Structure 1
Amino acid sequence: MQFTTFLAAAATLAFGAKANAVPRDGARLAQFRVFGAEGCSELNQGFYTVDASDANACKTFDGVPSPPGVKSVVLEAMNSPAADSCSFYVFTNNICTSGTTRLETSTCSDVPPPNANWASWKIICSAV
């Protein structure tokens, strides 16, 4: 009896989770991770996924605790072929105009002095 109840609950949870899943908006282009300390190893603040709907638009680091904010970023993946025409950038202001740094996959980028934090990001694609 308990086993049957457990199976029913698990099935309900599985189907309910699938029904409530947030759909992606276009192809997955990239994934990056942010840190609250320099060096991309301490104070992991989580990762962001980048979809085609994010292309060519300035985005801020929503949900990151401040302080400490974003001190370093690592671009974990650029997904081929979807992101073949794309470049990923981080900025020191929240409107994607200052302190521009282009990120390469698997390379840590610390915020340059005298800036306190990375404030925004943008993936620029010519064919999305």
Structure 2
Amino acid sequence: MTLLISIWETKKVNGSDTYKLEAVPHSARKKEETGYSKRVIYVDKKANLMVKVLYYDNNGNHSKTYEAGNIKPVAGTDKYRCYHMQMTDISKDHVTKLEFTKIKIDNDFSDQLFTRRTLEAGL
């Protein structure tokens, strides 16, 4: 999706120094396809990860909020990941949370694990 992205400012969000960005679909068609008129995104300066995203529906109303926390480097690497993620759907008064206790990067998975047949079988 093509977006027009503007950097507004730097701001502290949930203890992280962040860049505040605004992403807006470049056309009415893209706006309709995504269902969002804009997203305000806060990116952690050190980890380069989104720590908060505010989603606005096509009427300009704040409809969802994504928040990430417990950001730390993955053991044995210099790569940061979010160990807690939460999406709040304001219009439905619903929250979905993801918690990770262990993350491993650069696993030695066989390419066979990612074939269409294997993925559809749910193995």
Bin for the TM-score computed over the shorter chain: under 0.3
Pick 1 or 2: higher relative contact order, CA cutoff 8 A, min separation 6: 1
Higher strand share: 2
Give the alignment's TM-score, normalised by structure 2.
0.26
